[in-house]
Amino acid sequence: AGAVAFLGARLVSGAGYLLDAIGFDEKLDDTAWVITGEGRFDGQTRHGKVVAEVAARAHTRGVKVVVLCGALHADVSDMTALGIRAAFSIVQGPCTLSEALARTREGLYRTAWSVARLIQADSSTGNSSK
């Protein structure tokens, strides 16, 4: 707050700033699907987390969005409001946090493979275009 008052700085969304810096919007022009993720996808996601900003920008351009996450605690209404087509937890079955973290690579690979197969099936039916 001091920098805003004394240096003329302005507060901006960190997620928005980063996406602008990498030219995210332009990258969406020829994109049919975006796969994004975070550790815990829940009701707080829509309040400034990167996933919400990615989903909003993709959704306004007709790009389908899938979320991969460690913990999935979002309601369907949260996902719909963000323009997200689907969300998947990469954790397979009940386990402790340390077990889930130890299995991250395996779970991410398995889940991403399944999502890729769905996208491939979608494109074979002609549905993958914007």
What's the pLDDT score for residue 37? 94
Instruction: State pTM to two decimals.
Output: 0.83
Residue 2: pLDDT band (50, 70, 90) is low
What's the pLDDT score for residue 31? 94
For the segment 21-56, what is each residue's pLDDT rounded down to a tens digit? 999 999 999 999 999 999 999 888 878 789 999 999
* 3-class SS string, the chain: CHHHHHHCCCCCCHHHHHHHHCCHHHHCCCCCEEEEEEEEECCCCCCCCHHHHHHHHHHHCCCEEEEEEEEECCCHHHHHHHCCCEEEECCCCCCCHHHHHHCHHHHHHHHHHHHHHHHHHHHHCCCCCC
For the segment 77-116, what is each residue's pLDDT rounded down to a tens digit? 888 888 999 999 999 999 999 999 999 999 999 999 999 9
Domains in the chain with CATH codes? 2-124 (3.40.50.10350)
